[in-house]
Structure 1
Amino acid sequence: MTVRIVLVSVLVWGCNKSHNVVKPQVKPLMEAVYASGFVVSDQEYQVYSQADGTLAEVLVREGEAVKKGDAILKIKSIASSARYHQALETYQQALRNKIPVLSELTAFVQSAQSKMQLDSVNLVRFSNLLKANATTRVEFDRAELQYKNSRNDFEAAKSRLTKAQTDLETNAKNAYNQLQIAEEESGNYTVRSDIDGVVLKIMKEQGELLRRSEAVAVIGKPAAFYLKLTIDELDVQRVKVGQPALIKIDALSDKIVKGKITKVYPLVDTRQQSLRVDVAFEENLSELISGMATEVNIMVQQKETALVIPKQLLLPGDSLWILQDNKKQKIKIIRGIETLDEVEITSGITQESILIN
C-alpha cells in the first residue's frame, strides 16, 4: 500500500456524540504521491581510483573549490611499477639483441660479397682462357656456376640482413611504446576533477590501500541542488514530469518548500520495488547541504471544492452507513481523489447527508 504524507492542514470534523454521526465537509483537497530521498548537489559524482595501490597524497580539502582538470589526489600503483620495470627490461633486451644479431648478419653479407667478387674475377679469367683455347668448356662452366651461386648467396645474405634489421627495429619500437605506456601508469596516478565544483567529501585517508574503481571522493556544484527521490512502484503511472511538489527537509524544521518534477526514470529498482524521480527547487535555499534527508508530496490532483469525508468511514465495496428517516441505511458511493486520511465523494451523498461513524 502506498504511504503518503499530507502537507495541508487537516480539518476538525463536527460530530454529534449522542448519535455518533458525521456530516460531509466541502473543502479544498489535494491528492499526492509520497516520495522520500536526499538533497543532491548538481552534477554530483563520485571519483574512483584508477588502479590498485595506496593513496599517496590528498591534494585538496573537503569544501575546497576546484576547477575542471585540477588534481584531487595521487595514487601509487604497486602493480604498475612492476609492469614498468618489466617493460624496461624488455626494451633494454631488444636493444641488446640488435648488436650481436646485426653484427653476425653483416659479417655474412661481407663474406658473401667477398666470395662473389673473387668468383667474378675467376669467371673473367676462365672466359679469357676459353677464348685462347687454354681451358676446357667444362672448366669455364664450373667457374660460371660458382659465380652464380656466390652471387645468389650474397643476395640472400643481404635479404636476411634487411629483414633482421626491420624485425629488430619493430621489436625495439614496440618495446619502447610499451615502456612509455608503463611509464605513464607507473609511480603516481593523478586523479583530476571532471567539473568546476566543490570537493564534498574525501572518502579515504593518505596511506590507505585502494582497489581499482573504488570510490575515493565526491565532487559537485557549490550552490546548485536538486532532490533525488524514490517512489513506490505502484505510483509510477501517477507521476509525470512537470508536476508540482511540496518539500519538507528534516534539517529545516517545519519549513515547506515548492518544487517541480524534472525527470522520471524509466527503470524500477526490483530489489526495493521503487522508482527514481528528480525534483528541482523553485526557490534558492542557502541552508541546503548535499545529503540532507527529505520527504515530498508530489501533487497529482487538487480540487478547491471537494465533498470530503474521513476515510475511516468507508466500508468495503465503496459504501457508507448513513442516517436517513431516522434509520441506519447502507448506500453505495463513488470515490474521487483521496489522501491518507480523507476521501472525496463524487456521487451517493450530499453535504447534508448524515454519516454514521
Structure 2
Amino acid sequence: MYSKFLILLLLSAFCTSCGSKPETTRPVTGTITESVYASGVIKGENQYQVYSTVNGLVEKVLVSEGDLVKKGTPVIQLVGKVAMLNTENAGLAAAYSRISANGERLSELENNISLARQKMNNDASLFERQKNLWDQKIGTRLEYEQRELAYSNAVNAFETAKLRYNEALKQLRFQEQQSQKNLQILQTSAKDYIIKSESEGQVYDILKKAGEMVTPQTAIAIIGDASRFLIELQIDEYDIAKIKIGQKILVNMDSYRGTTFEAKVSRVIPYMNERSKSFTIEAVFVKAPQTLYPNLTCEANIVISHKEKALTIPRDYLLDGGYVLLQKEKKQKVSTGLMDYQRVEILGGLKGDENLIKPQ
C-alpha cells in the first residue's frame, strides 16, 4: 500500500514539472546606467594623525576634542625633565665656550706675543750692533755668534707665541661652534616633548590621556579641516581602470537614510593596497549634507556610463559567452554594452521582438 502511494506521488511531481512552462521575456528599450560599487568613509579635508617623534609619558593634554588649532599649536606635552636639564647643561657649556668668555686666556697669549716681539726687536738691534763691530774686526767671534743665536731664538719664540695664539683661537672657535650645535640639538630634542599640530584645523579626537605611554608608532590625535570634508572610497582592482576624475557618484550614508547625495571623483591614488587588493580614491560632495563628522561610513555607486534609449534584457537571461536562448532553446549570440545590477544592454544580435527563454 505504501509503495503504491509513493509511486503515485512521484508520478504527480513528474507530471507537474513536465507541465510547467519556462519563464520568458522580450527586450525592452529604456534607460540604463553602469556603475561601480564602492564603500568608504567621510574624512575631513587635510585630515591626518598626529605622532610623536620620541618615546615618553603624556604629562598634559593641552587641547580638547572640537578645538580649533593653528599650525604649531601645542597639542600634548610629554614628561621631558631630563631633556630640559640636558639642555640647560648644554647652554652652560655653550656660554663657557664662547670666545668672549675666554678673553683672559687670549689676552695672556697676546701679551706673550708682545713680549716676544719686544725681545726679538731688542735682540735684533744687539745682533746688528755686534755684526757691525765684527765687520770692523772689533770683538770676538764668540760674542758675534752668541748675539746671532740670541736673535734667532727670539725670532723662534715670537713665531711660537703667535702660533700658540692662533691655535688657541682656532680651538676656542671650534669648541664654541660645537657647543652651540650641541645646544641646538638638545633644544630641538626638548621641543619634541611638546607635540604640536602640523596644520590649521579642528581636533577630531584625542587618542592618549595623561600618564599613558607614547611611541613614534602610535597616533596621539586626529586633526583635520573644521568645515570641509571629502569621501574616501575603496575600489576593487578589477574596476579601477574604469574610474576617471570628474565622474558622478551617488552616495548613501546610514546617518542620512533614504537620502542620496551627489559627489564627483576628485583624486585617484595610483597605488594598490597589496593586502586588500584595492585602490583608494577621493571624492567631493557637489552639495554636502548640513552636518558631517569624520569616519562616517558610506556606500557609493560611481557612474561609469549612462544611456537613455538602450535595448536591454534582464541579466539572468544572458548565458556565459554572450548567448541568449530563443524558442526551442536555440542559442543566439549577442553583443553587449552597458550593464547594471539588473539589466544588460544589447548592442547586436537581437531585433527587439524576440521571445527569450530564461535559462534553468
8 Å Cα contact 1:53-1:79 kept in structure 2: no
**Counterpart contact for 2:245–2:266, Cα < 8 Å:** yes
Aligned to 2:354, what secondary structure does the other structure show? coil
Does 1:245 pair with 2:249?
yes
Going from structure 1 to structure 2, the CA distance change for 1:133 and 1:350 (only over 3 Å counts) comes to closer
Name the counterpart of 1:197.
Answer: 201
- In the other structure, the counterpart of 1:349 is 350
Corresponding residue SS for 2:353: coil
Q: Distance in 1 between matches of 2:173 and 2:321?
A: 87
Match of residue 329 from structure 2: 328
Q: 1:236 — aligned with what?
A: 240
Amino acid at match of 1:230: Q
* In 1, Cα distance between equivalents of 2:191 and 2:347: 73
Secondary structure (helix, strand or coil) at the match of 1:234 reads coil
Q: TM-score, normalised by structure 1?
A: 0.81
| Cα offset, 1:307, TM superposition | 2.3
- Relative distance call for 1:107 and 1:195 in structure 2 (3 A) is closer
Deviation of residue 286 (structure 1)?
A: 1.7
1:56–1:188 CA contact under 8 A, matched in 2 = no
Residue 28 (1) aligns with residue 31 (2): yes
Partner of 1:49 in structure 2?
52
1:261-294 deviations in Å (ceiling 9; x for gaps): 1112222223322112111111121232110111
2:182 is matched with which residue?
A: 178
The alignment status of 1:159 with 2:159, answered yes or no, reads no
Q: Which 5+ residue runs of structure 1 have no aligned equivalent?
A: 1-16
Deviation at 1:112, TM superposition (A): 4.6
Any conservation in 1 of the 2:29–2:309 contact (CA below 8 Å)? Answer: yes
1:206-355 mapped onto 2 (5 Å cutoff)? 206-212=210-216, 214-323=218-327, 327-355=328-356
Comparing 175-184 and 200-209, the one that deviates more: 175-184
In the alignment, what sits opposite 2:7?
A: none
- CA drift of 1:260 comes to 1.0
Query: 1:226 and 1:188, CA in 2 relative to 1: closer, same or farther beyond 3 A?
Result: closer
Q: Tell me how far 1:299 sits from its aligned partner.
A: 0.6
Quote the offset at 1:37 in angstroms: 0.9
Distance (whole Å) between structure 1 residues aligned to residue 195 and residue 242 of structure 2: 43
What is the CA distance between 1:59 and its match in structure 2? 1.4
Aligned to 1:141: 145
Q: Extract unaligned runs of 5+ from structure 2.
A: 1-19
Q: Aligned equivalents of 1:105 and 1:68: distance in 2? A: 51
Deviation at 1:62, TM superposition (A): 0.5
Give the structure with the larger helix fraction: 2
User: How big is the shift at 1:71?
Assistant: 2.6
Pair 305,124 (structure 1): closer, same or farther in 2 beyond 3 Å = closer
**CA–CA distance in structure 2, aligned partners of residues 190 and 307 of structure 1:** 66
Partners of 1:88 and 1:47 lie apart in 2 by 30
26-35 or 177-186, which deviates more? 177-186
The alpha-carbon deviation at position 209 of structure 1 amounts to 2.1
Deviation of the 1:86 alpha carbon: 6.5
Q: Is the 8 A contact 1:52 1:77 kept in 2?
A: no
Indicate conservation of the 8 Å contact 1:26/1:308, yes or no: yes
Q: CA deviation at 1:227?
A: 0.5
Q: Shift in Å at residue 132 of structure 1? A: 8.4
Whether contact under 8 Å (2:52, 2:192) holds in the other structure is: no
Q: Deviations over 1:144-193 (max 9, x none)?
A: 22222222222222221232123223312321342244234327743333
In the alignment, is the contact (CA less than 8 A) between 2:63 and 2:75 conserved in 1?
yes
Change beyond 3 A, Cα 1:150–1:27: same
Distance 2:208 2:272 in 1: 32
- SS of 2:330 mapped into structure 1: strand
The answer on whether the counterparts of 2:54 and 2:192 sit within 8 Å (CA) in structure 1 is no
Partner Cα separation in structure 2 for residue 71 and residue 234 of structure 1: 44
Question: How many matched pairs?
Answer: 338
CA contact (8 A) 1:41 1:224 kept: yes
Does the 8 Å contact 1:55/1:208 carry over to 2? yes
RMSD (Å) for aligned C-alpha atoms: 3.2
